[in-house]
Amino acid sequence: MYSDHMSTTERLIESTQELLWERGYVGTSPKAIQQRAGAGQGSMYHHFRGKPDLALTAIRRTAEQLRAAAEASFSAPGAGAYERVRGYLLRERDVLRGCPVGRLTMDPDVIADPELRRPVEETLDWLRGRLAEIVAEGQRQGEFVADLDPARIAATVVATVQGGYVLARAAGTTTHFDLAVRGLLDLLAAARTPAA
């Protein structure tokens, strides 16, 4: 499953990331992590103080990866604000698995633990903030109408994506996610200035 060149630490982190995405915190047992990583109990506890420490490392890694993927869309060279938001909304995702960060908000053990919750909260805050910056930039450049509220638009984008995942998973098809994203893009297109 993993390359022979990957360190035990990396295998443990990646295995935990995958299991948290699939099963949540409670369903991610140390034994399941060790089995998936091909690592023994001694190896796990040599590198990490226990499941909470390893889970926190995995959640932080997942959050970093989500930010990097989003930033790739947000920083598209030469693209205007609308195109960068559009790129983010239409980027390739494993829709039926849901968001690896957003799904953690439904995990009571993650939400109840301030340390585990922090990277989730910070990532969603960062995402809203970054989207608000892009919308405000689009307003300054005359691409979007002046009466849009960038913070509200950013919250709507994040809510559409996260809610789209829920609808898609409930129906077992990406159709509802795609409809939600396309509907939001229609609304954003209507908020562009005639010159844009």
Structural domains in the chain, CATH included, are 8-190 (1.10.357.10)
Distance of CA 91 to the CA centre of its chain: 12
Q: Answer yes or no: are the C-beta atoms of 30 and 44 closer than 8 Å.
A: yes
Query: Which residues share a beta bridge with 192?
Result: 144
What are the pLDDT digits (tens) for 86-125?
A: 999 999 999 999 999 999 999 999 999 999 999 999 999 9
Query: Which residue numbers in the chain have pLDDT < 70?
Result: 1-5, 196
Task: Name the DSSP letter for residue 102.
Answer: G
Token digits for 94? 């494993």
Q: Give the chain's mean pLDDT.
A: 94
Token digits for 137? 């930039």
